[in-house]
Amino acid sequence: MTPLLRVLLMLTGSGGSPRKVWTAMMKEDITPEMFLEGGPSLWEKLDCPPAALKKLSHLSDGQWLEKEMAAAARNGVKILPFSHGEFPERLAEAPDGPLLLYVRGEWPLEGPSVAVVGTRKCSPYGKQVSARIGRAAAEAGGVVISGGAAGIDGAAHEGSLDAGGRTVAVLGTGVDVFYPGSHENLFRRILDQGGALLSEYPFGTTPRRWHFPERNRIIAQLADRLVVVEAPHRSGAMNTARHALEAGREVWAVPGRITEEACSGSNRLIFDGAHPLVSVDEFAALAFDRQLVLFPEEERERKSPFLTGKEQKILSVLKKYGERTVDNIAVECTMSPAEVLSCLAVMAAAGIVFPSGPGRWSASPG
């Protein structure tokens, strides 16, 4: 283990402010060797917080460091210092970027990338759009980056995986801690399909509230562009958007209903100048340099499964008027509720429509 890696592991494991201490070291021309030899008296001069100073003293005996390296070898995890050739250049150049990354899975992942973020408490529509963006990115050969959380994040990962794509989850825990627990299968799918789990936190790190805003900067800095699907005004997704703007990344937002708090932040981004994502196909064409189809409706009809007359009538109503109840559809299509339900079941299985709320249905975004 090199002196640099030893120091960075100690700073990361101390729970203090690794970047702040490292910046102080550089300012004072203190090498990793000098840091290790200087001990607590030097670390105190570098403004290490008292709790971190105590932890550094405990970690300096080397036992924790050896256990961390052994855990990495056992789990097939790469521990990359910022000087490593596989450490993302964008993160290395960022003034607030991590000094160290734990990478579990395939790395590096080549190709254009898009980060997709949003609220955990998303609407069924937001979930559908997020999955559609993930799928479109995968079909274009792009890498989807998100935070592995419930809601919008998980839908984006799933959409990419369902299309055979590669996706990266940037975690607010150690790469060996699956959070939320309900996403364990999702994280395993990411690894099985050639994606990666990333974290700046040591093995065994459990979720802490402040870790998630911290990891947001990594999501923003890694990607070529960022899409906010649904986000309240005060949310982690808006925090990620701020980091993306500061890093000079393109920011897109999906328009939402102005009456819903879950869309207040994403709508505000559009008002402030973010690109409005009004068509997934057009976004994919611009983001991944794909050729737009001249007659998208004809192309969509050619690719879509055969619809009966009744099913086509229902789809036309949903596309024209938006969300509808079964009774609404029955009246507007002059059908019985039983006939509507039968058609909806077939169409939902084909991914053409989806339940957008209790007793309500919408056409799938495309």
Question: pLDDT (tens digit, 9 = 90+) per residue, 224-244?
Answer: 999 999 999 999 999 999 999
Q: Give residue 106's pLDDT.
A: 96
In 3D, which of 271, 282, 353 has the Cα closest to residue 318? 353
- Domains, the chain, ranges and CATH? 1-75 (no CATH), 113-287 (3.40.50.450), 296-363 (1.10.10.10)
- Any idea what the Cα angle at residue 278 is, between residues 277 and 283, rounded to 5°? 55
Distance CA 236, CA 165 (A): 25
Q: Give residue 295's pLDDT.
A: 44
Count of beta carbons in the 10 Å neighbourhood of residue 330: 18
Please name the amino acid found at residue 270.
I
Q: pLDDT tens, position by position, for the chain (366 residues)?
A: 899 999 999 999 998 789 999 999 999 999 999 999 999 999 999 988 888 888 998 888 778 999 999 999 999 999 999 999 999 999 999 999 999 999 999 999 999 999 999 999 999 999 999 999 999 999 999 999 999 999 999 999 999 999 999 999 999 999 999 999 999 999 999 999 999 999 999 999 999 999 999 999 999 999 999 999 999 999 999 999 999 999 999 999 999 999 999 999 999 999 999 999 999 999 999 998 865 544 444 444 444 568 898 999 999 999 888 889 999 999 999 999 899 999 998 888 888 889 888 888 999 886
Q: Answer for the pair 190, 161: CB distance below 8 angstroms, yes or no.
A: yes
Distance CA 254, CA 133 (A): 11
Percentage with pLDDT > 90 across the chain: 80
Interval 72-100: pLDDT, tens: 999 999 999 999 999 999 999 999 999 99
Q: 66 — phi, psi (to 5°)? A: -65, -40
Tokens of 249: 């990344």
Tokens of 231: 């986000």
